[in-house]
Amino acid sequence: MRFAVTKVCGGGAKARAGMLQIAGSNIETPALLLSTRKGLPAFVSRDLLASLPLPDSLFLHVCPTHFMEGPPSKTISNIGGLHHMLGLPDHVLIAAAGDSIESLPTSEASNKFGASFETPAGRRLVKPSDYMELISCMKPNLWASLADEVPAWVTEKRNKVSVERTLRWLDACIALDEDSGANTLGVVVGGSSVEQRKLCATEVSKRNVSGFWIGGLGLGDSPEERCSILDAAVGCLPPEKPRVVSRLGLPEEVLEGVAAGIDLFDSTYIYQLTMGGFALIFPIDMVGKEMQNGSLNSSDGDFTKINLRATTYRKDTSRIVDSCSCFTCQNHTRAYLNHLLNVHEMLAQILLEIHNTHHYLCFFRLIRDTIKTGQFDRFRQQFVQDRRAYLAAAVI
């Protein structure tokens, strides 16, 4: 794996564009990791993955704890790893122990032996040796070390314990790794403590890791705390290695992360939208064309999304987004999606996830374009301003 920063915003800003060379592909950053359930997005099959924008859709976040109930890790290993089992030899699989759907970290049950997760099969304690056995069998391109993620409200003492455990488990994982950590993402934790975040980031940077995974966000932290946490962690990390963050999913959260210098985003936002019957609609072609008079020119319902379950779309024969080139928008109408959702057809989730994934990947492409053209700060400020204006009007 090779990573290079190709553009940094001027004026002391931290937002940056980069190029990640991995598994024979050159993928630009900032980029999105598509969340999966046992290797594939929840409602997008292997053949439908090919309909998504390339190479943007090559990043897949896989969760080793999803495979603790089967198939057996030895079976995956005998097949040749997860790439071969899924039939996705060209995709980039990035493994991390937890997610926000089926493997939630439970700090109160973690102990010195391992990290605890709430799974569909109950609470599971994962030891470094167990975790590395899964990693060895799955053979992902990159993997995040086991970490003790804690929510924002824990004590400073518990934050310190979290950092100590995470560093100890990182050393154990590297020692058990066949490549001695060459494909490892060191996890930065420390709850809402800025000092512990700095300490953890500094210590992880000393290890033989390929990049960094900033964990523990989205666990009760406020936007203000999140901003200081990101600044503290990123400020202690070397610039030549990629940075990944988990649980920043909303468009404004992603923009905040990019502004802090994050390169890759792991999020279940698309899954949550799809399950709720929502479709993304915010404009993604405004650079140099729609950013007129400091406005993003959007007026269709919610600034970012619409609820296709609503009766207002029962007879709406337009596309979800007129300019969208995804399979769903090219072949189906809002009225059809409304019908599928209200009769509880699974095809509704399939079509919605295709559109939402396509749209969000294009949003990340837009972010990269604004960084390259020096418009990112202006774009971010206007996007957040328009979003807040809509929310204020909705409340009134």
Average confidence (pLDDT) per 10 residues, the chain, 396 residues: 92 88 94 94 92 93 88 91 94 91 86 90 91 94 95 93 96 88 90 95 96 92 90 95 93 94 95 96 65 42 83 96 94 98 96 97 95 92 82 58
Domain edges within the chain: 2-273, 279-394
Whole-number Å distance between alpha carbons of 222 and 236: 22
CATH of the domain spanning 2-273 = 3.20.20.105
Tell me how far apart the alpha carbons of residues 221 and 215 are, in angstroms, rounded to a whole number: 12
pLDDT value of position 391:
64
Strands 184-188 and 142-144: parallel
66 annotated among ligand-binding-site residues: no
How far is 194 from 74, CA to CA, in rounded Å?
A: 41
CB neighbourhood size of 310 (10 A): 15
- Whether 172 contacts 125, CB under 8 Å: no
Q: Indicate the SS3 state at residue 254.
A: helix
Q: How many residues does the chain have?
A: 396
CA-closest candidate to residue 200, choices 229, 242, 239: 229
List 61's β-bridge partners, or say none: 35, 94
Q: What is the mean pLDDT of the chain?
A: 90
CA-CA distance, 88 to 258, in Å (whole number)?
A: 28
Q: What confidence score (pLDDT) does residue 302 get?
A: 57
pLDDT at 100: 78
Which among 380, 101, 143, 142 is positioned nearest to 267, based on CA atoms?
101
List all residues 6 or more positions away from 345 whose beta carbon is below 8 Å from its beta carbon. Answer: none
Which pLDDT score, from 0 to 100, does residue 143 have?
A: 96
How far is C-alpha 64 from the chain's CA centre? 16
How much is the pLDDT for 29?
Answer: 97
- End-to-end Cα spacing for the chain: 51
Q: Is 200 annotated as a binding residue?
A: no
Model confidence pLDDT, tens digit, residues 156-170: 999 999 999 999 999
Query: What residues pair up with 114 in beta bridges, in sequence order?
Result: 111
Sequence letter at residue 345: E
How far from 24 is each of 21, 27, 184, 247, CA to CA, in Å? 7, 10, 18, 28
Least Cα distance to 88 among 52, 60, 53, 69 occurs for: 60
At 354, give phi and psi (nearest 5°): -60, -50
